[in-house]
Structure 1
Amino acid sequence: MRRRSFIASLPLVAAGSLSSIQPNLLGQSPANKLDQGSTPKFQPAGDERFIRSDVHAGDRVSGASFASRSAVMGCSGAAGTAHPLATLTAIEILKKGGSAIDAAVAANACLGFLEPTSSGIGGDCYAMIWDPKLSKVVGLAGSGRSPKSLTLETARARAKNGALPPLGAVTVSTPGALDAWWTLHQRYGKLKWAELFEPAIHLAESGVPVPQIIGYYIKRNLAAFTRPGSGVEETANALHTWAPNGKAPGEGDVFRNPDLARTYRLIAEGGRDAYYDGPIAKTIDAYFKRIGGWLSAEDLRDQHAEWNDPLVTSYRGVEVYGMAANTQGLATLQLLNIAENFDLRNMGFQSAQSLHVQIEAKRLAYEDRARYYADPHFAKIPIEWLNSKAYAAERAKLIKLGSILTPVHPGQAPSHGDTTYFTVADKDGLMISQIQSNFRGMGSGLVADGLGFMFQDRGQLFSLQDGHPNIYAPGKRPFQTIIPGFSTRDGKPWMSFGVMGGDMQPQGQAQIIINRVDYGLDIQAAGDSPRWHHEGSSQSMGEDPPNLDPKGIVRLEAGVPESTRNALIALGWPMGPSDGGYGRYECIEPRMSGADRFYSAASEMRADGCALAY
């Protein structure tokens, strides 16, 4: 289909009348807005964004007009990560005879150095694997627990405005990522464990230029850690690691992390136990004792990942999987179950009606997310009821096309009842959808002496409310935002995919599925399509800004049609500026050409990464 025919071929129905309000499409203040009559010839030195609201991407002779590029294709394997060197590492591991899991572990180790703003061995890790021998999707939860010595009383004493603070030792839960890598490799690995760390060690020692977006976030994170009153017990180690010359690396600066390289060497030689019951554990234990924290050698020694069966629902003939355990994976399924009750295709691609329904479905799903989601070892969660089509139909009846649901509440259960994503596929049909995170940005702000990585601040998402299933308790896993995505069709893998970014993840995953199923977009266009992001819930999980409108805030990317934006404003949706919080996406799709299988892989323009296939 010719590029200019794509949108015209879809129904363009918009809910509500056009508003006379002329929104600022890019969230700029009037003082910073470029004169529409001027023609800027270059980006001024020091500017982080070159914005021209009336200029759009160049023309494509095929495919969707808004797609940034075509998907890449190859018969032997594919990978997509948030950094080109991590993607290249995955491909090289596959070429050496490694499995998709070998390649994923190697890429993740590289990302711990290359993309410290989203990942590292101080965080947690989840994965969904298509196991071709079992012909099923398998889940692994590498989520750490809260320190056993940190009591609820102490946690409440450190609270701010009734919630745990975003930084410092009280937010640190046991890192689960490295144990998850080891568990994956023990079951699916082909190469030797030590081989998987060679590329990351080389990169960390020799150094690499810092990409644009990663450099931007390193500076922001270090500024937050060192701000007076941040709550971080000590920042000298973080500055030593990421600002060794007194300045955070910027775009194009060559950065090294010799401390992390030494840590990786210990892990390569000693395996999992070097981290959880060896020299690294001893260093971590001594560090937290020194700064007055709670994470201990005992906590590390007791950490073990768990295999599980992912949750699943159907969406117009496609099976969509959600991570179980203590994650928000169920929210993706609930959102799609509700949206399935509406004819989104006939409402029109990027129409106000379609976006209104999707946003309302998100609000309803997230009310349940805030009310019920927690560690199933500590709370009984009514998963079957929440994921049922009957419950979704009841919730869908609450959505009105001409008005916004206010107030919105969670359903009443029956009485019995900042992240990096990457995906790899190999020649044998093994596929992994993996996500790994330190939670908010780089994490807690804390770096143990000489180890070169930061600890996660995932514990901030515990509730402190009596009776809440996610209330803090020692040895408990906090609510998790990180979720890999996977979908099948007719019993065969259809997409291994993910969308990074806190509470954006279920929203982004649902938009990818809707773009593909309802609007027929390929995997590249489905990711490049402009997104919406809704913030706000009557029962926040800690990620929402304070004092929000009861309806929350809707943020739209600049590519959403202005008529749609104006119709949503006229309907009454509070509109916030575009803030870049729309996630980052990678995807691999197995396809057939006669009797030949090949992989199609996609990444997007919102991150520094890329997808490759061979």
Structure 2
Amino acid sequence: MRDFQAPGKSAVYANNGICATSHPLAAKVAIETLEAGGNAVDAAIAGAVLLGICEPQMTGIGGDCFVLLKPAGTENILALNGSGRAPSASSAAEMRARGLNAIPLRGVEPVTVPGAVDAFCRLSDDWGKLGLDRCLAPAIRYAEEGVPVAPRVAYDWAEDAKDLTGDARKFYLLDGQVPRAGQIFRAPGQAEVLRRIAAQGRAGFYEGEVAEDMVSSLQALGGKHTLADFAATSASYTDPISGPYKGIELVEHPPNGQGATAILMLNILSHFDIAAMDPFGSQRAHIEAEAAKLAYDARNRFLAETAPRIDHMLSPDTAAKLATLIDPKRAMGSAAPLTEAVHKDTIYITVVDRDRMAVSLIYSIFWGFGAGTASRKFGINFQNRGAGFTLLEGHPNELGGGKRPMHTIIPGMLRKNGKVIMPFGVMGGAYQPNGHARFVSNMVDFGLDAQAAIDAPRSFSGAEGMLVETGYTPQVLAELVAMGHEAQSAPDPIGGAQAILIDDTGVLIGASDPRKDGCALGY
């Protein structure tokens, strides 16, 4: 039980349904959708699409999503890959010939075709009850009327707005200025796009005037995108991957997502007596950092859309060999190079309904405001997911026409004795596999409930060195430096998280990260 005299929040308990996400309006809309007779899929779509209006620096219909879904009446988990592809004319060789050794983070080069809208349409058709028009109605209304900018959103907006260019500045600034907390943000162009999707399904986005607006805007910037690329976009069902950790099974999305990295991290950590360590001490943070370096190095070598060596990453033998490389008292040097620095530009939403259908959905435009560009007529902000490719010739994740890039966003679920007990997710770009491993370890090794496991301080060894949240004591930071870590206080909160426990009694328990504006709501 938490200390009720200390700052904090209680988990949310409910019988009929819970949504946990990063903005309260989206959680409210999701619960209203359940109360109107919708199921968890309907509620997740309604909340997720609204988050593109509430948190436009994080996500939007110009982005991608991944979904784990447990239908009602079964413990089977389905995976839906809603990530888009590079334009068919994309060429790593052409970029290398231009003198590039990496795909730029901003501009037209990293823009891949948005995949989320097709995934939402597929989910609604296959698993929803209310229909897409009803699910999109709240987002359409809020996009027209506007939403007050929330405090954490305003904080991120101010940091990310410098990367907005061209038409994006017209749509995502207010009179040329970054919106302040409490100011109203409207997106009437996106409201019109959502009306067309509600009426026409995916054709309202991937064909006709909306697609023409996106393609012509990208081509004007020098992009190789075509109407055929957009029309060909299709989400795909895949089989999840999983791995055990001390009686709990972590279920992840397969590549092109990086979920295998979290499974490998936990496999490495299983070779250490983590439970005997101080949960917020330097020893645990050190072992976790070393495991992350090794797991992320494997990620960078092997993960791609096809991932021919995924079995190697998931093998217990691989984890055992990697664990022997960790010195319990000394850092192994700088972190293995990552394809991107830690960033926080993602939303996550999870919903469980009265029939115990569970949805774990993550949805993003990658970096803050994605590529920093937007379509000229409707103001659709383009993602920069193509920056997840490499230009290294022969690498499995080498940029190629029609390929999906290695993706950082990963929804998660936990099973125990074959039963799904928790959909959850951790936002934060590259941090996400580390965040999954820490969240699971917090609960399994230290007995923390989901809310306490989310609240707990975080650290991450990535491209910027070892970032340590202020929840750690100065002594821990000094001890990590003495071990050889390039440790420093994190300038921003590391990621965010949401989770819903399906308790043995049947009660639902929702947890939400205080690092974000959001909450868990139930009924």
Matches within 5 A, 1:59-78: 60=4, 68-78=8-18
Counterpart residue type for residue 292 of structure 1: G
Does the aligned pair in 2 maintain the 1:156–1:164 contact within 8 Å? Answer: no
SS of corresponding position for 2:117: helix
Indicate which of 581, 584, 588 corresponds to 2:500. Answer: 588
Q: What TM-score, normalized to structure 2?
A: 0.95
Aligned to 1:175: 114
Aligned to 1:305: 235
Aligned to 1:203: 142
Aligned to 2:404: 477
| Cα distance, 1:372 vs structure 2 | 0.6
Matches within 5 A, 1:254-333: 254-333=184-263
| Cα distance, 1:131 vs structure 2 | 2.2
Indicate which of 190, 215, 219 corresponds to 2:129. Answer: 190
Indicate which of 64, 67, 72 corresponds to 1:124. Answer: 64
Q: For 1:285 and 1:349, locate their aligned partners in 2 and report how far apart those are by CA, in whole Å.
A: 50
SS of corresponding position for 1:555: strand
Counterpart residue type for residue 404 of structure 2: R
Q: For 1:164 and 1:600, locate their aligned partners in 2 and report how far apart those are by CA, in whole Å.
A: 42
Indicate which of 599, 604, 608 corresponds to 2:508. Answer: 599
Counterpart residue type for residue 134 of structure 2: E
| Cα distance, 1:446 vs structure 2 | 1.6
Q: What TM-score, normalized to structure 1?
A: 0.82
SS of corresponding position for 2:77: strand
Indicate which of 18, 28, 33 corresponds to 1:88. Answer: 28
Does the aligned pair in 1 maintain the 2:469–2:493 contact within 8 Å? Answer: no
Counterpart residue type for residue 313 of structure 2: L
SS of corresponding position for 1:518: helix
Aligned to 1:250: 180
Counterpart residue type for residue 497 of structure 2: Y
Q: For 1:73 and 1:477, locate their aligned partners in 2 and report how far apart those are by CA, in whole Å.
A: 39
| Cα distance, 1:158 vs structure 2 | 5.3
SS of corresponding position for 1:171: coil
Question: Identity of paired residues, percent?
Answer: 37
Unaligned runs of 5+ in 1: 4-58, 227-234, 411-417, 537-544, 546-552
Q: For 1:158 and 1:76, locate their aligned partners in 2 and report how far apart those are by CA, in whole Å.
A: 57
Q: 1:215 to 1:300 in 2, by over 3 A?
A: same
Q: For 1:87 and 1:285, locate their aligned partners in 2 and report how far apart those are by CA, in whole Å.
A: 33
Does the aligned pair in 1 maintain the 2:258–2:407 contact within 8 Å? Answer: yes
Q: For 1:248 and 1:155, locate their aligned partners in 2 and report how far apart those are by CA, in whole Å.
A: 34
| Cα distance, 1:300 vs structure 2 | 0.7
Counterpart residue type for residue 113 of structure 2: T
Q: For 1:406 and 1:216, locate their aligned partners in 2 and report how far apart those are by CA, in whole Å.
A: 33
Matches within 5 A, 1:26-105: 60=4, 68-105=8-45
Does the aligned pair in 1 maintain the 2:455–2:514 contact within 8 Å? Answer: yes
Q: 1:610 aligned to 2:511?
A: no
| Cα distance, 1:565 vs structure 2 | 2.1
Does the aligned pair in 2 maintain the 1:81–1:586 contact within 8 Å? Answer: yes
Which 10-residue stretch deviates more, 151-160 or 109-118? 151-160
Aligned to 1:6: none
Does the aligned pair in 1 maintain the 2:83–2:404 contact within 8 Å? Answer: yes
| Cα distance, 1:193 vs structure 2 | 1.3
Indicate which of 459, 465, 478 corresponds to 1:566. Answer: 478
Deviations 1:476-502 (A, max 9, x none): 111100100111111111221111011
Q: For 1:257 and 1:355, locate their aligned partners in 2 and report how far apart those are by CA, in whole Å.
A: 43
When the two chains are superposed, the root-mean-square deviation of aligned CA atoms in Å is 1.7
Which 10-residue stretch deviates more, 511-520 or 259-268? 259-268
User: Computing the radius of gyration over CA atoms, which structure comes out larger, 1 or 2?
Assistant: 1
Counterpart residue type for residue 83 of structure 2: S
Q: For 1:446 and 1:350, locate their aligned partners in 2 and report how far apart those are by CA, in whole Å.
A: 41
Aligned to 2:419: 492
Aligned to 1:441: 368
Runs of 4+ in 1 over 3 A off after TM superposition: 157-160, 406-410
Aligned to 1:10: none
Aligned to 1:53: none
| Cα distance, 1:305 vs structure 2 | 0.7
Aligned to 2:278: 348
Counterpart residue type for residue 366 of structure 1: Y
Does the aligned pair in 2 maintain the 1:351–1:564 contact within 8 Å? Answer: yes
Q: 1:576 to 1:566 in 2, by over 3 A?
A: closer
| Cα distance, 1:582 vs structure 2 | 0.9
